[in-house]
Structure 1
């Protein structure tokens, strides 16, 4: 006997909505007493962390070129020697003084995000080839059904970027610059464009 086609219906997708900050960064939005501090808001580095200190800053722009003021950004990366602070890291011991992960809500007035971290070392691709130094980003905001993943490479690593196996897989080379953070001294500027002519390359992971 044939079943009705409406027996099981796909439920509607949900965006991150206006509650993402309440759930992920309650102290940031004035809901205190749930956690001593918001998860991921503490420093990634301390006085004993190995590596070159850098500041990553930027904005998340919509398709019209307007900076989002409700985006939530997470980053994770290797330490200065190319090891991850993770139980699955088997290649060596990661720097115990480097967290390797952080979360930052965009400024509610300007939309700017900012991370104080270190420049990561190179890590191997699946086939053993070394990838260029990079930082992985995850972005959520109202209107985004699934969190978006991208990477930030460094403008002062041209040789490493040229041989990076992930960048090499991007078919339209004119889009590679959307993944390059512009370095000026110890500051790296990385703007993320959700749509439009400058749309950032996002990865399906």
Structure 2
């Protein structure tokens, strides 16, 4: 019988194999309508995670994916250079930032959101969550948000901090733990 390989955590050496050439830019610099979504990644003690990675995947502004798994069929984005994917390592203070466009709503009543994977030291696998946007009327009918206790919904809703800026801090554990999804 072959020997079992010991488990390893996903961090802290993320920059050795998970860096993304386009980095945090889901759209080319200067794209009209670009927003910045940022925040801090915190561990269970409330300390910043300086060696984590935040990855996003999203629909384009029309609510479509240029991907074969989109049940409506893959459609090229109408915005030139839109990738739908971004990846950002946290800085020494645990800060991350993605530059993108607001996604469109999805079929089935899903409000505009970013799908998020977080990789960090101490995790045996990534954790998955979502980022919704404050002030969007679709949030009231989103199936996932509606399924959560009201006191937990705000862990998924980024606050608008400027004309083109949103912020959501991600807490891996503790009293302010972000809602994570089983995928």
Q: TM-score by structure 2 length?
A: 0.88
Match of residue 176 from structure 2: 198
Give the one of 151, 165, 173 matched to 1:174: 151
2-structure distance, mates of 1:75, 1:176: 19
**Structure 2: 5+ residue runs without aligned partners?**
none
For 1:83, the equivalent position in structure 2 comes to 64
Counterpart Cα distance in 2 of 1:9 and 1:46: 47
Tell whether 2:88 aligns with 1:104.
Answer: yes
**Residues 155-196 of structure 1 deviation map (CA, whole Å, 9 limit, x = unaligned):** 111x211100111222x2211110000012211001000111
The total of aligned residue pairs comes to 179
Q: CA deviation at 1:97?
A: 2.6
> For the Cα contact (< 8 Å) 1:40–1:104, is it kept in 2?
no
1:113 pairs with one of 83, 88, 96 = 96
Contact 2:90 2:96 in 1 (8 A): yes
**Residues 79-133 of structure 1, C-alpha deviation per residue, up to 9 Å, x if partnerless?**
11101132333164433531110111011x2221111111110011xxxx22111
Contact 2:42 2:171 in 1 (8 A): yes
> Which of 43, 61, 64 pairs up with 2:42?
61
Higher relative contact order (CA closer than 8 Å, sequence separation 6+): 2
By how many angstroms is 1:47 displaced? 6.9
Asked if 1:141 corresponds to 2:125, the answer is no
Which has the greater radius of gyration? 1
Runs of 4+ in 1 over 6 A off after TM superposition: 7-10
CA contact under 8 A between 1:52 and 1:80: conserved in structure 2? no
- Contact 1:83–1:94 (CA<8 Å) still a contact in 2? yes
Quickly say closer, same or farther: Cα 1:9–1:199, change in 2 above 3 A.
farther
Q: Which residue of 2 aligns with 1:187?
A: 165
CA distance 1:92–1:181, shift in 2 (3 Å) = same
Please tell me the root mean square deviation across aligned C-alpha atoms, in Å.
Answer: 2.2
Partners of 1:111 and 1:138 lie apart in 2 by 15
TM-score w.r.t. structure 1 length? Answer: 0.79
